[in-house]
Amino acid sequence: MKPKAAVRNADPTIQFDDVTYRLNGTVRHTIVKEIRFVIDSGQTLVLLGRSGSGKTTLLRLINRLLTPSAGQVIVSGRPTTDWDPIRLRRGIGYVIQDAGLFPHFTVAENIALVPSLEHWDAARTSARVDELLTLVGLEPAQYRTRRPHELSGGQRQRVGVARALAADPPILLMDEPFGALDPVTRAELQREFRALAGRLAKTIVFVTHDLREALALASRIILLENGQIVADASPQDFPRLDHPEVLAFTASLTPVPGSPS
Amino acid sequence: MTPWSFFLEHRSEILEATANHLTLVLISMAFAIAIAVPLGMLIVHRPTLRNFVLGLASVFQTIPSLALFGFLIPIPFIGGIGRRTAIVALVLYALLPILRNTYVGLTGIDPAVLEAAEAMGMTESQILWRVRLPLARAVILAGIRTATIITIGVATIAAAIGAGGLGTFIFRGVAMVSDAVILAGAIPAALLAIIADLLLGLLERRLKIS
């Protein structure tokens, strides 16, 4: 047995300890500054903010695609810099806006990526692929052998979520996963995501610039402005805060009939 | 003497020269691919080496081919008169298109795909072999195709240093001021280039990933 269960067994909490990240290490290019918060196990935390507010940077600091210029990010009890980045990342699911599916792999091969890196046997992998396809609402027999270019945007994103969940990571990072979808498909995936998140009991960090999406999906919302946290509240309390950036976001909400919030 | 009658009279000689020519090209391409593709993979993550290697390959490309053959003759081990020297020169010529396409193919991949691969916990070498290389193979083959066509053409000049091939007829024809003799070398060389282009083009389309 390889020492792969480290993220799995430990508590899947994420802690930011006065984390600063500067591009090229220069003060002028400070992206996030002295960020401090704890994400509890099982929480669906939404990082909300405008473009360039630093939300994606925070996400990428968690799986060590970036390392802090100062401070530390602690995942499952250890600073990310102490982790072998490969082991750390295999215990953290990652979903991005364009799905980033491998165009030369079939749907099944895409989903089986982490299991194959972890040398699962074929039967176990195959069963897992079917299970996940079913979970994200795609008929396994119909979709297993398709290639990404034969899928719609919504289907690609479903496969992206299935791939991220393949090895059952305790932590899931999602960077505007529904951002590129048409409104109908987006609403559909948001509904399913909410049901899924409730069932899977994972620690989820979700980046978006859409307040409506944040209110619909989050168990907690952190609002970022210019690389700093300006609000941290439950979705129930968030709209009642009176910080100018919160007001700017709530003002952006135009009432739409049947909106999920 | 018409080209056709010359061709008929010397057909076995022309056929032999064509075979020689083809061998020269195939050996050179095998070496060029064996050097340029791994080198292209090596420079993906090494910017300093990349500039040096691509620069050097470009320099070889700028040396007029006849001069390159001439320069190589006095160099020990690889030089001298004959086929070996010709192969060295042809390999140097073929490097740049393969090298550049390998590098461009390996680095011109959708950033979202590379980000996902890294975030999924693939190591650098896993990303190279399992993501970059399969996605780059059509572009790499396009470089090999370009290099092959260049090599078929430049290989005619190799006759100047005694390497044989279809250039023998071209040089002889120039000396004899005979179009018929020149064409006996030029037409098969052109046909080889066209056939290579078609076949490799076909393969390239099959490797392309939508």
DSSP string, chain A: --TT-HHHHS---EEEEEEEEEGGG-GGGEEEEEEEEEEPTT-EEEEEE-TTSSHHHHHHHHTTSS--SEEEEEETTEEGGGS-HHHHHHTEEEEETTTT--TTS-HHHHHTHHHHHTT--HHHHHHHHHHHHHHTT--HHHHTT--GGGS-HHHHHHHHHHHHHTT--SEEEEESTTTTS-HHHHHHHHHHHHHHHHHH--EEEEEES-HHHHHHH-SEEEEEETTEEEEEE-TTTGGG---HHHHHHHHT----TT---
Give the lowest-confidence range in A52-66, B70-84, B134-148. B70-84
ipTM: 0.87
Mean pLDDT, chain A, rounded, equals 90
Confidence of residue A4 (pLDDT cuts 50, 70, 90): very low
Give the lowest-confidence range in A10-14, A30-34, A132-136, B192-196. A10-14
Global pTM value: 0.85
Burial (Cβ within 10 Å: 0-12, 13-18, ≥19) of residue A168:
middle
Scanning every residue of chain A, which has its alpha carbon at the shortest distance from the alpha carbon of B136?
A104
pLDDT surpassing 60 at residue A257: no
Q: Do B135 and A147 touch (CB under 8 A)?
A: no
Phi, psi of A35 (to 5 degrees): -80, 135
Q: Which amino acid makes up residue B33? A: I
Whether A67 has its CB under 8 Å from any CB of chain B: the answer is no
* Chain A environment of B121 (Cβ under 8 Å): 85-90, 114, 117
pLDDT surpassing 60 at residue A2: no
Whether A174 has its CB under 8 Å from any CB of chain B: the answer is no
pLDDT surpassing 70 at residue A260: no
Whether A63 has its CB under 8 Å from any CB of chain B: the answer is yes
Domains of chain B: 3-207 (1.10.3720.10)
Tell me what the mean pLDDT of segment B147-164 comes to: 92
Confidence of residue A254 (pLDDT cuts 50, 70, 90): low
Give the lowest-confidence range in A75-79, A215-219, A252-256, B130-134. A252-256
Give the lowest-confidence range in A108-117, B65-74, B96-105. B65-74
pLDDT surpassing 90 at residue A227: yes
Whether B207 has its CB under 8 Å from any CB of chain A: the answer is no
Tell me what the mean pLDDT of segment B85-114 comes to: 94
Confidence of residue A111 (pLDDT cuts 50, 70, 90): very high
pLDDT for res A7:
52
The residues, any chain, with a CB within 8 Å of residue B93's CB and separated by 6 or more, are B60, B61, B65, B68, B147, B150, B151, B154
pLDDT surpassing 80 at residue A255: no
